[in-house]
A and B are shown apart, each in its own frame.
Chain A
């Protein structure tokens, strides 16, 4: 083993970059959602919290953490995402 990061980490990094570009595009007003700002906002928030989930799982190494710590992080991500979507869309 040479200490190199697993390929999964690089895949997650590329995914985060692509997701950042997508959320910026959705938020720029040039997305194909037309006038459905609620849909664009919901998608933007969903993608952002998916990014946060993967940062925790693969960058913070919570993937192999004790279940309690993993659950606490996942509850934070889920609860804040739901609250944000509710306040933005509903």
Chain B
């Protein structure tokens, strides 16, 4: 989407109305009817097929997990109690914080505030490192206690879900570092909008998937 297309859309932030010097048209005097607004797709449209598909894959695994739990809730409950809930909760807060930092980085990049955007992306990468470190400690604790992927259905699902998610965290971290390199080169928002928004959307997907995993595997299964 170009700036000309988004100019004047009352649902978008004001700086997309042309205050960056690319477009300097008048602001709308009244909002247009909702049905005529085209909307703004964050990042490439094709990326959203991947994001929604990935979310659906995780949802399918989680639903099968809950289905299996129904056949043996006692064993699942005992197994879930072996997980270190405080680490899962801390990791949820760390990812929520990283998502917030990424949102602010997007706005800073849009406003041409490159040093601030770089600091925010660096802080998000730091959060990812904390998440991975806590996850590594959790895996170490579980495996030391004799809980491995072959320890039963619960732990098979636990390692598959959290392992796949950790893989997404690693990919997301690489993408965040690529975004930071773009910011270091002071790539303008106009030239990097779709890439930056796509990376941000991917990272938010990593965050929301963890919210679902923490809730259903760590909390609900232990109740």
Contacts and interface: CB of A to CB of B under 8 A. Distances in A.
Given A40-B223, A59-B204, A88-B220, A1 B13 contact: yes
Interface string A49-66: 101100110111111111
Contact of A5 (B69, B107, B112, B212): B107
A13 to B, nearest CB: 4
B15 A80 contact: no
Contacts, number: 154
Interface in B94-130: 96-97, 99-100, 102-104, 106-113, 116
B96 A1 contact: no
Interface residues of A, number: 51
Nearest to A62: B42
Given A44-B219, A48-B212, A84-B62, A55 B99 contact: yes
B218 A27 contact: yes
Given A51-B211, A73-B52, A56 B11 contact: no
Contacts of B208: 51-52, 55-56
B142 interface: no
A13 B42 contact: no
A45 B219 CA distance: 9
A13 B218 contact: no
Given A45-B220, A80-B212, 20 more contacts: A3-B107, A3-B111, A3-B116, A5-B107, A6-B107, A21-B89, A24-B85, A48-B216, A52-B208, A55-B207, A55-B211, A59-B207, A60-B205, A64-B9, A64-B40, A65-B39, A69-B39, A83-B66, A84-B66, A87-B69
A89 to B, nearest CB: 10
B111 A1 contact: yes
A34 to B, nearest CB: 12
B204 A60 contact: yes
A37 B223 contact: yes
A2 B112 CA distance: 8
B192 interface: no
B52 A17 contact: no
Q: Which 8 A-B pairs have the closest CB atoms?
A: A3-B111, A27-B219, A66-B39, A48-B215, A87-B66, A1-B15, A13-B100, A64-B11
Nearest to A24: B89
Given A3-B15, A64-B11, A9 B219 contact: no
